[in-house]
Structure 1
Amino acid sequence: MGKVTVTFAPITMTHAEGPLPDGGDGQVWGAMHSRPTAVPGGLTGTPAGDRPAALGLAIQPEYGGRFDAYTGRFSLRLRLLSPLLRHGCAVGASAPVDFQLKRSGPSTWLSQDPPVITFSAYDDTFTAPAAEDCGPLTGLLNHRFGLPAATGNLMTYDAMYTFKTYDQLPAKEGRRIR
C-alpha cells in the first residue's frame, strides 16, 4: 500500500451464508479478529535497533462494514498503533478501504472431515486514502506510507476456511431447523 509492504498477522472472520427461502443468496456477518502487525522501520523508516521503542508502529486491520463472500468484496480500516499516535488514527478512518478480490487460482480441498479449503485472491486496483485522526504526526505518516495512493497498491490474500451446515449445529431450546 503506497510505499510500505506489510504481511498482516492472520485474520479470522466468521460469517454465515446460504440460500434464502426466496432462492436468493443470504449472508450474515459475525466477527473479525486480528493482532497488530509491526511495520518495518516504524514511524521513521529506520531499523528497530536504531530508534527508540516509542517510534515503533503497527497496523491492525479492522472490519470496515462490508463483506460479501459471493463477490469477493470487503472493506477494512487499518488502525495505526504507536505510543505517539491518537487512538483513532487509521487509514480508512472516515471511509474504509474497499477491496474487490479476484481469485488467482482454483480452491483446493485439504480435508473432507472436517472440511478445510484453501484459495488465494488479490486486488491490484484498490485506492488507499490518507491516514486520518493521527494528530500532529498525520503528515509524517502519510509521507512515510505514500498516502493517499491511487495506484500501485496490491492486496494478496491466502485463505483457509472450514464450515458447518446449519443442520450440523447443535439444537437450542426453542429453535427448530427444517
Structure 2
Amino acid sequence: MLETTADGPRPSLARRAAVTLAGAAALTGLAGVYTPGFAYAEPSAPTAQFPADFSDCPALPTGADPARWKCEVHTAAPQLTIGKVTVTLAPITMTHAEGPMPDGTDGQVWGAMHSAPTAIPGGLTGTAAGEHVRLTRLAVKPEYGDRSDFYTGQFSLRLRLLSPLLPQGCTVGASEPVDFQMKRPSPSQWVSQDPPLIKFSAYDDTFAAPAAEHCGPLTGPLNRRLGLPASSGNLMTYDATYTFRTYDQLPTP
C-alpha cells in the first residue's frame, strides 16, 4: 500500500518494513544495533510485599533529620494512550525521599525507577503477523525523564521503543521528555497502618506526546504508525500503592 503526498507516492511502514526485511544487508545493519531478548513483561496489577525493597533509597541532603525524612517506594500499573496507541504498561516502581530541609522548606531527592518493556499490539506495522512477526514486533519501555516533584504530582518519562529493526536510541521524548501533571480523582486510602501501605489513583489527560526520534530510516513511518506527535487526546492513568520508612528505621548498609 502507498501513502500519497504532495511529492508523490510514499511507501507505507508495512511496505518499508518488508523492503527492509528483504534486504539482507540492510537488515543486518539495523538489527545489529539492538538485539534484545524480547522477554516482554505481561501487564499485571501492582503488588506490595513486605518487607519492601528499600535498597534504592537515596542519600539525604546535608543536615536533614533522618527521623523526619521518609523513603517512599511507589508501584503503579499505568495505562497509556499516546497518539494512536493504547497499552497497559508493565508495573513501574519508583523510589524517592522527602522531608523538611534544615531551613524548613519541603525537600525531596530522587532515588530510582524500574520497569520492563511491554509489547505494542500489531508491532511496527500495526498488523504484524505471519513469518515476519518476530522481526516487526515493537515494545515500549518507560524510563525516568530526569524531572519529578512528588509534592505536586509532576514527573517526566522517556518512552524507549524497542524492535530488532530499530536502533537502540529510538525514543519518544529523546530531546525533551514527556511531562505529566498527575491529578487525583479521589482521596488516598490507607490499606495498612503497620506496615504502612497507601493506595491511590491518578491520571493526566492534558500532556503532549512528541514524535519518536533517533529511529533510523523508519523514523517517519514509525511516527505515522503511532500517530505522533500528538498535542491532545493522550492519557496516562494508573492505580498505585506506596509504602515508606523514615530514615532512622532503614537497615544500616
| TM bucket normalised to smaller | over 0.9
Aligned to 1:30: 111
Provide runs of 4+ in structure 1 moved above 3 Å. 47-51
Q: Show structure 1 runs of 5+ residues with no match.
A: 173-178
Aligned to 1:54: 135
Please tell me whether the aligned partners of residues 99 and 123 of structure 1 are also in contact (alpha carbons under 8 angstroms): yes
Alignment match of 2:121 (pick from 26, 40, 55): 40
Q: Distance in 2 between matches of 1:81 and 1:47?
A: 15
Q: Distance in 2 between matches of 1:138 and 1:170?
A: 47
The one-character-per-residue Cα deviations of 1:33-89 (angstroms, maximum 9, x if unpaired) are 000000011101115557421000000000000111101000000000000000000
1:86 aligns with 2:167: yes
Give how far 1:21 is off: 1.7
Task: Please state whether the residue corresponding to 1:139 is helix, strand or coil.
Answer: helix
Alignment match of 1:10 (pick from 74, 81, 91): 91
Aligned to 2:219: 138
Task: Please state whether the residue corresponding to 2:169 is helix, strand or coil.
Answer: coil
Q: Letter of the aligned partner of 2:203 in structure 1? A: Y
Please tell me whether the aligned partners of residues 48 and 56 of structure 1 are also in contact (alpha carbons under 8 angstroms): no
**In the superposition, relative to structure 1, how do residues 25 and 47 fare at CA in structure 2: closer, same or farther (>3 Å)?**
same
Aligned to 2:146: 65
Alignment match of 2:199 (pick from 105, 113, 118): 118
Please tell me whether the aligned partners of residues 67 and 75 of structure 1 are also in contact (alpha carbons under 8 angstroms): yes
Give how far 1:167 is off: 2.0
Please tell me whether the aligned partners of residues 96 and 108 of structure 2 are also in contact (alpha carbons under 8 angstroms): yes
Q: Which has the larger radius of gyration?
A: 2
Q: Show structure 2 runs of 5+ residues with no match.
A: 1-81
Residues matched between the structures, number = 172
Q: Distance in 2 between matches of 1:89 and 1:54?
A: 16
Identity of aligned residues (%): 76
Task: Please state whether the residue corresponding to 2:161 is helix, strand or coil.
Answer: strand
Aligned to 1:75: 156
Of the structure 1 ranges 128-137 and 153-162, higher mean CA displacement relative to structure 2 is found in 153-162
- Superposition pairs for residues 97-176 of structure 1, below 5 Å? 97-171=178-252
Please tell me whether the aligned partners of residues 83 and 228 of structure 2 are also in contact (alpha carbons under 8 angstroms): yes
Q: Distance in 2 between matches of 1:122 and 1:88?
A: 28
In the superposition, the TM-score normalised over structure 1's length comes to: 0.93
Give how far 1:113 is off: 1.3
Give how far 1:143 is off: 0.6
Q: Distance in 1 between matches of 2:128 and 2:135?
A: 13
Q: Distance in 1 between matches of 2:131 and 2:167?
A: 24
